[in-house]
Amino acid sequence: YPHLRKIVDVHLGRAGWRLVLDSDLLFWREPRLLLDWAAAPDRPLHATDCVENYGYPRATLERIAGAPLPRLVNVGLCGLRSDTLDWDFLEHATATLLREHGTSYYLEQALVALLAARHPGPCAVTPAGDYVTYPSSAEIDAPSAVMHHYVDLSRDTYHLRAWRRALSG
């Protein structure tokens, strides 16, 4: 499962905070929230999804987490502290999800949602209006947001229109 590399390859055996950004993001304005977080990270950070996409039933995820699951976690922007990740828990959660429900494209996102649920305090969460997941056609043509995350069907516009706009300045 290639998306798990965004957790394993980035964090395993490392210490400190790490911010992972997907390659299908474009920034239209200075990402002040991200810059402030990167300058002094003190809690996990994640983006806000446009719809909940965990790939597994919420009841199963909350049972595994032992806590309520946060809503709309998106890992297009994901900041975690490598040396605090509970690898035994991640392995247990993965094995349980695969055994009970099979594979899912969203396994990595589900695991980060589980980590967020188990975190003792609130995570830093990007505001949906400024960090837009699945931007509309109108938003793509006249960006008002800080960032666009081109997921699902919006990826076509990422390749065909958004990059041209970004490069044209």
Q: What is the pTM of this model?
A: 0.94
pLDDT in tens, 87-107: 999 999 999 999 999 999 999
- Helix then strand then coil, % of the chain, to nearest 5: 45, 15, 35
Q: Find, among 111, 156, 164, the residue nearest to 137 by Cα.
A: 156
Amino acid making up residue 119: H
Amino acid making up residue 40: A
Measuring CA to CA, how many Å separate 53 from each of 14, 19, 28, 58, 157?
Answer: 28, 21, 25, 10, 21
pLDDT in tens, 119-148: 999 999 999 999 999 999 999 999 999 999
pLDDT in tens, 24-59: 999 999 999 999 999 999 999 999 999 999 999 999
Quote the mean pLDDT of the chain.
Answer: 95
